[in-house]
């Protein structure tokens, strides 16, 4: 759920429901669409920043849509939430302070709370409307806000990071797609701000778009931020209701020796294993294994250097 500014007033989520089906069409995935059958519209309105639609689907549970784009379905949300959170958290030997940018549905908070070493969880979500709606209609995600370690800031994440330098072990950005004002979250200055807000040895993980659709966005961004971060890697996960059924993550490390994020730095406890639906140590490693076409496009022929994709696999929107 992203750091977005006021959208064009013309978009109305209800217009995307035709003959009982919600149709997701977007300029970032031309020539294709995703449709879900609607059982009942639960909410439609506009926050100060975006159009918000919530409906009960026939087969995917409750669905959250922002500015016409599916953000969450109860059926498959865990594959994104778990991978976006646990890849960076298990890549760090002892994360104690974590920042989330966006993520107003609460799902990432829910996953971070599974790590007992974490003492402080800070979330910056610019749109309070997303938090309120999620607490009302998506309680299994919004339960993340109930953890006593969580502090909520309704503000722009970039500004918050400017005021908190060298502060966090892990920063997770759960953003929407790079259209309009949200595009700044996919640009080098935002990654520079995250780098400054990280402690030495810290790890950043961001929503990294789709290898089937957005290599022209992914490759230059990774090349650019590799000038700042010690190591930049890319992982993927599957999620049926995101465009092309797949989404990637950009994982970047600040200092901290020569370690990679491809291998978990810690083992899951029995309790953590039992609490996962998608993530595991094996899936963590597998997430970094990219198809040949994607590896070549993102990292070049060798796949080596400061930006590297290596043998392993990934995770969300």
Query: Is 108's pLDDT higher than 50?
Result: yes
CA Rg, the chain, in Å?
18
C-alpha to C-alpha distance for 158 and 173, rounded to whole angstroms: 11
Backbone angles phi, psi at 13, to 5 degrees: -55, -30
The residues near 49 (Cβ < 8 Å, ≥ 6 apart) are 4, 5, 6, 7, 126, 127, 129
Q: What confidence tier does 9 reach under pLDDT thresholds 50, 70, 90? A: low
d(CA 37, CA 289): 34
Closest CA to 316 of 216, 176, 188: 176
CA angle (109, 72, 114) in 5-degree steps: 25
pLDDT tens sequence across 242-272: 999 999 999 999 998 788 999 999 999 999 9
pLDDT digits (tens, 9 = 90+) for 45-95: 999 999 999 999 999 999 999 999 999 999 999 999 999 999 999 999 999
**Which residues are bridge partners to 102 per DSSP?**
174
Mean pLDDT of 154-182: 86
Which of 129-143, 167-181, 256-270 is the most confident on average?
A: 129-143
The model's pTM:
0.91
Secondary structure in 3-state letters for the chain? CCCCCCCCCCCCHHHHEECCEEEECCCCCCCCCEEEEEEEEEEEEECCCCEEEEEEECCCCEEEEECCEEEEECCCHHHHHHHHHHHHHHHCCCCCEEEEEECCCCHHHHHHCCCCCCCEEEEECCCHHHHHHHHHHCHHHHHHHHCCCEEEECCCHHHHHHCCCCCEEEEEEECCCCCHHHHHHHCHHHHHHHHHHEEEEEEEEEECCCCCCCHHHHHHHHHHHCCCCCEEEEEEEECCCCHHHEEEEEEEECCCCCCCCCCCCCCCCHHHHHCCCCCCHHHHHHCECCCHHHHHHHHCCCCCCCECCCCCECCCC
Q: Which of 169, 174, 177, 308 is catalytic?
A: 174
Q: What distances in angstroms separate CA 4 from CA 63, 71, 106, 151, one per listed residue?
A: 20, 14, 17, 20
Q: What pLDDT is attached to residue 179?
A: 58
Q: What is the pLDDT of residue 26?
A: 84
Q: Terminus-to-terminus CA distance in the chain, angstroms? A: 9
| 132 catalytically annotated | no
311, pLDDT greater than 80: no
Any residues with CB less than 8 A from the CB of 163 and at least 6 apart, and which? none
């Amino acid at each position: 759920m992203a750091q977005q500014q006021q959208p064009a007033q013309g978009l109305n989520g209800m217009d995307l429901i035709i003959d009982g089906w919600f149709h997701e069409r977007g300029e970032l995935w031309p020539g294709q669409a995703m449709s879900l059958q609607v059982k009942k519209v639960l909410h439609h309105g506009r926050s100060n920043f975006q159009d918000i639609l919530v409906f009960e689907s026939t087969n995917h549970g409750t669905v959250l849509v922002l500015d016409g784009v599916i953000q969450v379905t109860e059926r498959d949300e865990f594959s994104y939430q778990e991978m976006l959170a646990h890849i960076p958290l298990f890549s760090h030997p002892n994360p104690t302070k974590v920042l989330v940018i966006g993520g107003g549905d609460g799902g990432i908070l829910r996953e971070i709370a599974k790590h007992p070493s974490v003492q402080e969880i800070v979330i910056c979500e610019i749109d309070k409307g997303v938090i309120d709606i999620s607490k009302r209609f998506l309680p299994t995600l919004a339960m993340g806000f109930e953890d006593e370690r969580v502090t909520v800031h309704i503000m722009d994440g970039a500004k918050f990071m400017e005021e908190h330098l060298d502060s966090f072990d892990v920063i997770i950005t759960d953003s929407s797609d790079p259209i309009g004002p949200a595009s700044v979250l996919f640009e080098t200055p935002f990654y520079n701000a995250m780098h400054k807000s990280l402690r030495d040895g810290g790890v950043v993980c961001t929503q990294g778009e789709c290898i089937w659709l957005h290599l022209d966005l992914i490759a230059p961004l990774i090349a650019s931020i590799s000038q700042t971060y010690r190591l930049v890697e890319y992982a993927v996960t599957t999620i049926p209701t995101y465009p092309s059924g797949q989404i990637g993550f950009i994982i970047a490390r600040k200092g901290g020796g020569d370690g990679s994020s491809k291998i978990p730095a810690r083992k899951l406890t029995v309790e953590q294993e039992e609490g996962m639906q998608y993530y595991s140590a094996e899936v963590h490693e597998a997430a970094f294994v990219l198809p040949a076409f994607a590896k070549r496009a993102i990292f070049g022929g060798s796949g080596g250097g400061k930006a590297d994709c290596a043998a392993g696999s990934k995770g969300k929107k």
